[in-house]
Homo-oligomer: A and B are copies of this chain.
Amino acid sequence: MNKSTATFYHAGCPVCLDAESVVTRYLDTTKVNLEVVHLGTVRNRIAEAEAAGVKSVPALVVGGQTLHLNFGAPLSVLK
Contacts of A63 in B (CB 8 A): 21-22, 25-26
Copies in the complex: 2
Residues of B within 8 A of A69 (CB): 67-69
Within A29-79, which residues are at the interface with B (CB < 8 Å)? Answer: 29-32, 60, 62-63, 65-71
Interface residues on A, range: 20 to 34
Q: How far is the CB of A67 from chain B (nearest CB, A)?
A: 5
List 15 contacting pairs A-B, 8 Å CB cutoff, sorted by A. A18-B65, A19-B65, A22-B63, A22-B65, A22-B67, A25-B31, A26-B28, A26-B62, A26-B63, A27-B28, A67-B70, A68-B68, A68-B69, A68-B70, A68-B71
